[in-house]
Amino acid sequence: MRLESNVEERDAEIAKYSSRVVKQEKEIETLRERLSSINREHQRVISKQERALQAASQHDGETTKQLKNLLEHQGEQNVELQTNKEKVNNLQTEVERLRRQVHTLQQESADKEVKIVQLSKKHESAVEDLVGLNQALDSKQMELELVKRRHGVRGTGGSTSTPAPSRVSHCDSAAFSTPSTSRPSSVISNSDRESTGPATLTKERKLSSDSLTKTNMLSKSTRVNGSATTGAMGPPSTTKPRLSSMGPPRNRMSMGTPTPAARISSLSRSASAKPASATTSSSAAIH
């Protein structure tokens, strides 16, 4: 009985241990499953980390490349910035130089304008002097012809020079004809038309018309004075002396008195040469 009880106890213990073993095996199986799942999770995490590491390394390479490109671009930008700064400094220097040059040219232009005004005033005074000289020349020529007619200038017996009738008739008609001062004024106006403005041309025309009026009045007064002087010195001649009876004029008088046309033409040429030279010098100075 005691043995049976021991066997039963042993069987009960065996059953207990068997159930415990089964339970432990189940736990082991569960732990294995958990371990395998943990291993899978670990592998997944490792692969994920590897992929992340590869992506990070690639991104790091791209970032490094971009950084190098940025550094190179920054260097190029710095060089370009330095070049632009130098260009700006050069342009500022050039602008300052051009500003000084413009200021100098403005001053020179003002001086040239003052010189042009002075030259135009001198030209106007020269034209007025020329008109006055022409009037004085005409009056002196008329006085000379009146004196020659008053004293009855005749040629000497031994003189061999015989003037042409056209020359005598020209002198005869020039004594009592209105002196023409329009020719010098027209020559002067033609020569100065390009160098002077419309205001100067209007002044020249007005000046020439005034000179013509004054010359006509002077010729009329000279005729009246000459006729009065001739009547006072002696009885007037009833007959006009002929050209053949007068004889050739003396050489001294004919050689000493220039003709009005030649004198006026020479004065007009000198007057036209002066404004032309003044205009040329002023235009050359402006250029």
Query: Under DSSP, is residue 45 helix (H, G, I), strand (E, B) or coil?
Result: helix
d(CA 278, CA 188) in angstroms, rounded, equals 14
Does residue 96 have a pLDDT over 50? yes
- Quickly count: other Cβ atoms within 10 Å of residue 201's Cβ: 13
Does residue 174 have a pLDDT over 70? no
Please write the tens of the pLDDT for every residue from 237-257.
444 444 334 444 444 443 444
Percentage of the chain beyond pLDDT 90 is 38
Predicted confidence band at 59 (pLDDT cuts at 50, 70, 90)? confident
Looking at residue 207, its pLDDT comes to 56
DSSP the chain: -HHHHHHHHHHHHHHHHHHHHHHHHHHHHHHHHHHHHHHHHHHHHHHHHHHHHHHHHHHHHHHHHHHHHHHHHHHHHHHHHHHHHHHHHHHHHHHHHHHHHHHHHHHHHHHHHHHHHHHHHHHHHHHHHHHHHHHHHHHHHHHHHHHHHHHT----TT------HHHHHHHHHHHSS----HHHHHHHHHHHTTTS-HHHHHHHHHHHHHHHHHHHHHHHHHHHHHHHHHHHHSPPPSSPPPHHHH-PPPHHHHHHS--HHHHHHHHHHHHHHHHHHHHHHHHHHH-
pLDDT, mean over the chain: 70
The winner for highest mean pLDDT among 4-8, 44-48, 57-61 is 44-48
Please write the tens of the pLDDT for every residue from 18-35.
888 999 999 999 999 999
The winner for highest mean pLDDT among 97-101, 258-262, 265-269 is 97-101
Contact 233, 111 (CB under 8 A): no
Average pLDDT over residues 175-180: 42
Phi, psi dihedral angles at 154 (to 5 degrees): -125, 160
Please write the tens of the pLDDT for every residue from 110-157.
999 999 999 999 999 999 999 999 999 999 999 999 999 988 865 444
